[in-house]
Structure 1
Amino acid sequence: MENPTTPPVTLLEQDGEVTLSIGGEQAMQAWERDLMWASADMLCEYGHDFYEVGLGLGLSALRIAGNPATRSHTVLELFGEVEDLFRARHPELPGNLTIERGDFFTRVFELPSESIDGMFFDPALDMEVWKDAELWARTMPEVVRVLRPGGVFIPFFSTRPELRWQYLPHFRRIRVERRPYTAYATTSYTYGTEGDAYIQCFLKD
């Protein structure tokens, strides 16, 4: 799923709001912090070596790397501008945190089997990608292959109480936690600007 052109990446800070914009769309906002931290803390309950897809503002990356349980944490980011913005705000990174550049839908096939305890998944993807059933049918078995037994796959939170069809067929056990959230009045990617969010944790047997 390589992008033929790199979309513009902008960090917008105004009226107390922080928004990472990719291609003119809201990719991530700072109000997500508590949900990202809760997701990161859940991930770290399941081992010591972790992998993250999508750097964003780096809220979860720094939280995972800073957990006492974490031995190694690798983040894969597609857009160099996103990494540049993050490094400008965080010039000194934890020693166990590595940032790599690449396309997840290619890289996942290259990762060693049973090499990580958990994957946090929060990339900026076009809607056509989310709807591509064949792509997910090819990709998710590779995610399961990369996880160690007892490992977990945690996608970004949902503001709808629905299990995501892209991942559901590939796991027998799913842990779900409900958390309240309040987004910005300008947030466009949630179902409403306040209510309940759902963190879904898919466990490999």
Structure 2
Amino acid sequence: MKSQDVAERDTAPQDRPAIELIEQNGEVTLSIGGEQAMQAWERDLMWASADMLCEYGKDFYEVGLGLGLSALRIAGNPATRSHTVLELFDEVEDLFRARHPHVPDNLTVERGDFFERIFALPSESIDGMFFDPALDMEVWTDAGLWARTMPEVVRVLRPGGVFIPFFSTKPELRWQYLPHFRRIRVERHPFVAYDTTEYTHGGTTGDAFVQCFIKD
């Protein structure tokens, strides 16, 4: 479930949505609150995003664990010294640990709300952030929230560091991040989703766009 393609549901901790891993008919889906939060067909796009992130340094931060596809890819890159993942839900990490009992030593998973934690992160402490949380559409459209939050993201990035949100299947730059960066790198990648996928824009095949926002 990707924010630019479909309205997302509230993931505030007090709501405690049902979280499950659904494996059927060769498909793997992380379901949160009855919605498709992430599916395994995304692997190549997540890997492309992770590989791009790792071009820019050695200490990384990720928001949203999901199936752990990008987390393991980032931590497994020879250039990576440290990778910290912030996840809101215990159940998501439990599902990940059940599938991956042995993870790289440089990978740490922490619990917390990004919109609170970002203010506590040290300035210029990371080389890159990969951003893939499950958020409600009300959050994605809250211009004031993003105006307060994104300067903090820029603050924690080292000079030359990058912010990479999850891929989009719409060929447009995301307005939430655009005002805060002068340089943006975009790569186009073909994708083939499941026939049952509900969150892609314009069908289950096409082009996806990885956007990399670079701090000067």
TM class by shorter chain equals over 0.9
Whether contact under 8 Å (2:13, 2:89) holds in the other structure is no
Corresponding residue for 1:204? 215
Aligned-pair CA distance for 1:3: 3.0
Q: CA RMSD in A?
A: 0.8
1:124 aligned partner, one-letter code? A
Matches within 5 A, 1:95-174: 95-174=105-184
The one of 65, 71, 77 aligned to 1:67: 77
| Shift in Å, 1:83 | 0.3
TM-score (norm 1): 0.99
Tell me which residue corresponds to 1:34.
Answer: 44
SS at 2:119 equivalent: coil
Contact 2:185–2:212 (8 Å) recurs in 1: yes
Q: Describe the SS at the equivalent of 2:174.
A: coil
> How many angstroms apart in 2 are the aligned matches of 1:21 and 1:92?
23
Relative CO higher for 1 or 2, CA cutoff 8 Å, sep ≥ 6?
2
Return the offset for 1:128.
Answer: 0.8
Q: Is the partner of 2:13 in helix, strand or coil? A: coil
Equivalent position SS for 1:197: strand
Aligned residues: 205
My pick for the range that moved more, 145-154 or 126-135, is 126-135
Give CA deviations for 1:95-146 in whole Å, capped at 9, x if unaligned: 0000000000000000000000000000011111111111101000000000
**Distance in 1, Cα, partners of 2:12 & 2:155:** 22
- Aligned counterpart, 1:188: 198
Q: How many Å separate the matches in 1 of 2:103 and 2:210?
A: 26
Q: Could you list the runs of 4 or more consecutive aligned residues of structure 1 that deviate by over 6 angstroms after TM superposition? A: none
CA shift, 1:2, in A, is 4.3
Residue 4 of structure 1: how far off its partner (Å): 2.1
Structure 1, unpaired ranges of 5+: none
Identity rate, percent: 84
